[in-house]
Amino acid sequence: MGRSRGTRLVLGARVLAATAFAAVVGLLLFQTPAAALDVAGTPSPVTGNATYFSGLGAPYGGCGMPQANLDSQDFVALNVFNTPGDYATHPRPVPASQSGILGMFDNGLNCDRYVQVTIGDYCTGTNDGAQSQPFCRNGSWVGDRYNGATLTMLVADSCADSNAWCRDDPHHLDLHQDSLSRFVSNGAPVGSGLADHWNNRHISWQFVPTPNYTGDIQIGFLQGAQTWWGATAISHLPNGIHGVQYYANGAWTNAVMDGDMGQAYVLSPTTSGGSQFQIRVLDADDTLVNNGRVYTFSLPASCSGQCSAPYTQVSYTTGDGGGGGTTTTTPPPSSTTPPPGGCTATESITSTWSGGFQASVTVTNTGTTPTTSWTVDGAFPGSQTLVNSWNATVTQSGARLSARNAGYNGTIAAGGSTSWGMTVNGADQALTNLTCRAA
């Protein structure tokens, strides 16, 4: 399983984007040993450099989810290591014997959590992330009209690059480039303004609860998954993920994380050689999700032999934690309608601000063969208006909204899913009469 990343945007000859960590003032910093961080949380905002990159790449980001299946297209990468002045390769996951070099990524344990990011000053000098060099050389930090713009973003990736941003600044964030236009200032998205005036920014940030959470978790098998290697990814969590337990041969067992991809765990079926799985999930507080709710699901027919798609979402039933006890039908994560053409559409509101919101819509193939195209229709319940969208061609006529697949995501494997998103002006209310048609 790879941890591929997209390409950072190049401004001039080098990537430009950053902030200063207060202690980074000269070469002395790069001669000091790494200091252990409180990687579990940020009770008050911290300040760090901010770079940005084009996307997760394929098939997965550092947390083990494909970009198309994220709850939000506003996402960040956290630093894997905290090694000021040390740009060498280190093992991943970071072993317990080297816990002092853990970065905020925390060996994947901060995956699928949300952070509230606030824009600060920009640097008038050189802030290029060069090894063993201070940030903002030969310049100063200056504020402008974008100071204070905010956005809630999902932790979906990791940064282990051998530059000063990813090694010397423990609170550095790498932001999804497309998200820069969706930061909100004075109640409205900034559009292209922030990206056009980026020039090495400060940001401050802290972990926040999952915004506007509804429904239940989502489960999908990863590419290569099979009966003997039950690699799954867990998403749409109310409070991040710290572990998965599977029920096999009459006992609960802690699943092993797939590397340090914090949402991906390797499971065993309930009986040796079987295709049914049962799990329960621990959140970022090491508490069982939904009071120990048991999720029962099976390896889908499309994964006979092994799963070929990067991510194959599955349906499940739930039980009360008895481990093999009676199950009940899973409630939908949000507004869901029966599939008129072999697919379902489910919407989640992922972030809100005064006068607008962002939503993600997951399209799931409920048929037995791959789709070649899909269309989602719905209606705004009020006077909401579409601002922009991604991963689909979306049009609005009055209150009606229609979304067609993009050229690259019309094909969905049986049991698989993809997602598209949008920003909207108006009250944060989900679409009504949501339907999906597939061909």
CATH numbers and ranges of domains, the chain: 10-208 (2.40.40.10), 218-329 (2.60.40.760), 343-438 (2.60.40.290)
Indicate the helix (H) or strand (E) that contains 294: strand 294-298
Rounded-to-integer distance, Cα 420 and Cα 167, Å: 33
Check if the beta carbon of residue 19 is closer than 8 Å to that of residue 202.
yes
Report pLDDT digits (tens) over 334-381.
333 333 347 888 888 888 888 889 999 999 888 878 888 888 988 888
Check if the beta carbon of residue 59 is closer than 8 Å to that of residue 312.
no
Rounded-to-integer distance, Cα 308 and Cα 365, Å: 15
Indicate the helix (H) or strand (E) that contains 142: strand 141-142
Is the model more confident about 72 or about 9? 72
Check if the beta carbon of residue 418 is closer than 8 Å to that of residue 346.
no
Report pLDDT digits (tens) over 13-43.
223 333 333 333 333 333 333 344 678 776 6
Please report which confidence band the pLDDT of residue 321 belongs to, taking 50, 70 and 90 as the band edges: low
DSSP string of 58-94?
Answer: SS--TTS--GGG-S-S-EEEEESB--TT--S---SSP
Most confident listed range (7-16, 39-48, 288-297): 288-297
Q: Is the N-terminal amide bond of 333 cis, ω within 30° of 0?
A: no
Q: What is the pLDDT of residue 243?
A: 96
Per-residue pLDDT, averaged over 270-288, amounts to: 93
Q: Which of 401, 362, 386 is nearest to 214 (CA)?
A: 362
Strand 432-438 to 294-298 pairing: unpaired
> Does pLDDT of 327 surpass 50?
no
Report pLDDT digits (tens) over 166-212.
999 999 999 999 999 999 998 889 988 898 888 779 899 999 999 98
Q: What is the pLDDT of residue 365?
A: 87
Per-residue pLDDT, averaged over 121-143, amounts to: 92
Tell the residue number behind the tokens 């009209």, with chain if given.
Answer: 145
DSSP string of 359-385?
Answer: EEEEEEE-SSS--S-EEEEEE-SSS-E
> Does pLDDT of 281 surpass 50?
yes
Please tell me the pTM assigned to this model. 0.71
Please report which confidence band the pLDDT of residue 2 belongs to, taking 50, 70 and 90 as the band edges: very low
Please report which confidence band the pLDDT of residue 314 belongs to, taking 50, 70 and 90 as the band edges: very high
Rg from Cα positions in the chain: 22
Check if the beta carbon of residue 316 is closer than 8 Å to that of residue 219.
yes
Tell the residue number behind the tokens 């809630």, with chain if given.
Answer: 152
Q: What is the pLDDT of residue 73?
A: 92
Q: What is the pLDDT of residue 27?
A: 31
Please report which confidence band the pLDDT of residue 249 belongs to, taking 50, 70 and 90 as the band edges: confident
